[in-house]
Amino acid sequence: MRTDLDAIVIGSGQAGPFLASRLTAAGRRVALVERAQLGGTCVNHGCMPTKTLVASARAAHIARRAADYGVRIGGPVQIDMPAVKARMDRVVQQSVGNLTRWLEGMPNLSLLRGHARFAGPHEIEVNGRRLQAPQVFVNVGCRAVLPDWPGIDSTPVLDNVGLLALDAVPEHLIVIGGSYIGLEFAQIHRRFGARVTVLEAADRIVAREDEQVSRELAAILGGEGIELITGVGAARVERTADGQVRVSLQSRGVAHEIVGSHLLSAIGRRPNTDDLGLAAAGIRTDARGFITVDDQLRTNVPGIWALGDVNGRGAFTHTAYHDHQIVAANLLDGEQRSVRERIPAYALFTDPPLARIGMDEAQVRASGRRALVGTLPMTRVGRARERGETQGYMKVWVDARTQRILGATLLCIDADEIVHSLLDVMAADAPYTVVQRCVHIHPTVSELIPTLLGSLTELTPD
């Protein structure tokens, strides 16, 4: 058994390598264990490859609209899917290569390949070898789940990993799940030329968002030819004699039968905790399998932390990175940081993107506080008109008493970037008037943020 270690990090997603870097720089002897690809989901099967595809899909979309800008293209736009995939693979491999070289050259770090399982509270087994350390950090991430539909087990179903492996555009992609992952893939492949149908069990897409978001996104995606079927129930799946996939379902009392070439499951993800041997360490999980942690990301077992998606306290690359910052600051810098300091912030990378920070309107109303709201349609934004992309809107909520920004929803061009001007003011705990009175550069989308804040009116009861 190896007992000369100070810490063991299980998993090389966004939190693991950076925490290992902080620990080794402090002179700690660390083992980082990874059973699959270095970089975890984000680098290999999530953010990086999908946003590379989003860029290719947007290029195709703009090319098809070239005539709107007075540009002529001598023929229909064609998609070279092997070339699209090759570009995506190059971007991913470059990142994996950089990460590999960084970790392999990191002093005080032992990089181990294999599946780690707990053999005790501070003891793990990897490839038949036992390791022991007083501190263990779990960063094993999540994986896609399938719907519990009759016939699903005997039908070819893709998850995000399988879909990214395709080097041909699906003839008809059926997407189960009308939320973040499903809608991004739906728009990507529609712009590549596929017929796309999205099936959502809720009565609207992205049901966790305000109804206005659902309506606007449905209009945008529907305008591109994506079929959206909501309120899906009593669904069953089967493979046809010619190799297609048939989905039979009910939606609002109406029977539907959809036949497609490919079926994608994008209904959610489950934590990779079922084969970690958590019981041997006495580590508690919740009903869904997420490791239970406190606000400093400590598990119920002293000396064991859980970071990233596996702790259920955030489902994004940026929250995983922030997890490592919290743990490192508390362990190495003498600070007392907590996940409670984190302002909720995320984006849906459709085109235009949706950016969300803080509270949404339903949460603001539920809080019972007196609030102000400002809304600005993108048709009033000069830069949006100049670019011919006036879909969507910007909306912000402010506490009427404290003048602090409570939250914002931006569904518009560059929303994923410009939202940070509001997020930073929230993090600084400054009144909204700070950004309202700031002089922004013209012509930009961001210059309308002060205009948005200047439109605040009383949020009236429902």
Residue 178 CB neighbour total at 10 angstroms: 28
Rounded distance, CA 199 to CA 205, Å? 9
Spatial CB neighbours of 59, under 8 Å, sequence gap ≥ 6: none
Beta strand extents in 317-425 (DSSP E only)? 345-348, 354-358, 371-377, 393-399, 405-411
Question: CA-CA distance, 163 to 3, in Å (whole number)?
Answer: 42
176 three-state secondary structure: strand
CB 2 within 8 A of CB 29: no
Q: What is d(CA 155, CA 244) in angstroms, rounded to the nearest whole number?
A: 10
- Provide the residue type at 66 as one letter: A
Contact present, 14 and 308 (Cβ < 8 Å): yes
Residues with a known catalytic role:
442
What are the φ/ψ torsions at residue 150 (nearest 5 degrees)? -55, 135
For 430, list phi and psi in degrees, rounded to 5: -105, 155
Give the CA-trace dihedral at 327, 331, 334, 336, to 10 degrees.
40
Q: The tokens of 114 are what?
A: 């294999």
**H or E element that contains 146:** none
Query: Which phi and psi angles does 42 have, rounded to 5°?
Result: -55, -50
What are the structure tokens assigned to 401, written together? 């008493």
Q: How many CA atoms lie within 13 A of 444 on its CB side?
A: 13
Report phi then psi at 261, rounded to 5: -85, -30
Residue 382: its H or E element: helix 382-387
Task: Name the residue type at position 447.
Answer: E
> For tokens 């205009």, what's the residue?
451
Count CB atoms within 10 A of the CB of residue 81.
17
Place of tokens 């922004």: 440
Three-state SS at 180: helix
- Phi and psi, residue 32, nearest 5°: -110, 120
